[in-house]
Amino acid sequence: MRKPLVAGNWKLNGSTEMVSALLSGISQRLSTSRNAEVAVCPPFIYLEQARQQLEGGEIALGAQDCSDQQAGAYTGEVSAEMIREFGCRYIIVGHSERRHIYMESDAMVATKFDRVRESRMMPILCVGETLEEREEGRTQAVISRQLDAVLDRSGTAGFRDAVIAYEPVWAIGTGKTATPDQAQQVHAFIRGKLAGLDEEIAARIRILYGGSVKPENARSLLQENDIDGGLIGGAALKAEDFAAIVAAGG
Ligand code: PGA
């Protein structure tokens, strides 16, 4: 049985005050009978504050990105190894905002994925098509290409301790959600592709859905067979909404 994961991607939002209030708001609202694992991914600069506040609790910590480099003259970068020092369990790689706004290539995302694994954390690899790609019937081809870049570098075994997040670019921050059926089809495709390489890894990997998940649509999405949780943006900034989505995970 796969344990669902609901992870909050806070993006470029926060302040010391907000981090403290949001984390205590979430902690207070989480039900002890929940089924899902919970993680939050604040901006790098707040990881230490979050680590201290979450210490001894059940909310896992993650980062939103890491460098493809390990160390050296790379101004502004933060390595996976540095992130590990702050108690992170997860690092998101290949978010569509990184791919599209910061022009990260499939190869760069694959390198980052590897860096996270080398540092003994779990990558949350984001994949997903744009609206144009979907309308041209290229959804599966795009997702295959994104997965192949990682498979080429890390092999199938690279997915043993990893999470995948399917995030259709057209659903991120737009209020448009993929229907449970649309999402399930892509999730099944991803799992099927991995099953062709290694059935055990495919059966155990968690595939999250992301893109305008809200308390109102979370339950119908999360009850699909191949949807094992969510990567939540906007709704992760409101303790009440985030906790309600976690509760929808069972
Ligand atoms: P959203 O973002 O929930 O605000 O659509 C999801 C994401 O980008 O991970």
The pTM score is 0.97
To test ligand 1's pocket by mutation, which of 131, 166, 213 has the most ligand atoms within 8 angstroms of CB?
Answer: 213
pLDDT tens string, the chain, 250 residues long: the values are 899 999 999 999 999 999 999 999 999 999 888 889 999 999 999 999 999 999 999 999 999 999 999 999 999 999 999 999 999 999 999 999 999 999 999 999 999 999 999 999 999 999 999 999 999 999 999 999 999 999 999 999 999 999 999 999 999 888 888 899 999 999 999 999 999 999 999 999 999 999 999 999 999 999 999 999 999 999 999 999 999 999 998 6
How open is the CA angle 167-98-94, to the nearest 5 degrees?
A: 55
Q: Is the CB of 234 within 6 Å of ligand 1?
A: yes
Task: Report the topology of domain 5-248.
Answer: TIM Barrel (3.20.20)
The residue type of 74 is Y
C-alpha span between 37 and 34 (Å, rounded):
8
Q: Is the CB of 100 within 6 Å of ligand 1?
A: no
Q: Is the CB of 232 within 6 Å of ligand 1?
A: yes
Q: What spacing in Å lies between the alpha carbon of 229 and ligand 1's midpoint?
A: 13
> Residues near 71 by Cβ (< 8 Å), separated by ≥ 6?
79, 81
Characterise 14 by phi-psi region: left (phi > 0), alpha (psi -120 to 50), beta (else): left
**pLDDT at residue 250, rounded to an integer:** 67
> Residues near 47 by Cβ (< 8 Å), separated by ≥ 6?
61, 63, 83, 86, 87, 88
Confirm whether 167 is a catalytic residue: yes
**Residue whose CA is closest, atom 7 of ligand 1?**
233
Q: What spacing in Å lies between the alpha carbon of 172 and ligand 1's midpoint?
A: 5
Residues across the chain: 250
DSSP of the chain, one letter per residue?
-PPPEEEEE--S---HHHHHHHHHHHHHH--TT--SEEEEE--GGGHHHHHHHHTTSSEEEEES---SS-SSS-TT---HHHHHTTT-SEEEES-HHHHHHS---HHHHHHHHHHHHHTT-EEEEEE---HHHHHTT-HHHHHHHHHHHHHHHH-GGGGTT-EEEE--GGGTTSS----HHHHHHHHHHHHHHHHTT-HHHHHH-EEEEESS--HHHHHHHHTSTT--EEEESGGGGSHHHHHHHHHHT-
**Residue whose CA is closest, atom 2 of ligand 1?**
233
Q: Is the CB of 230 within 6 Å of ligand 1?
A: no
**pLDDT at residue 174, rounded to an integer:** 86
**Residue whose CA is closest, atom 3 of ligand 1?**
233
C-alpha span between 33 and 75 (Å, rounded):
45
C-alpha distance from residue 228 to each of 58, 111, 141, 163 (Å): 18, 25, 22, 10
Confirm whether 100 is a catalytic residue: no
And the tokens for 32? 């002890």
Q: Which atom of ligand 1 is nearest to the CA of 11?
A: 8
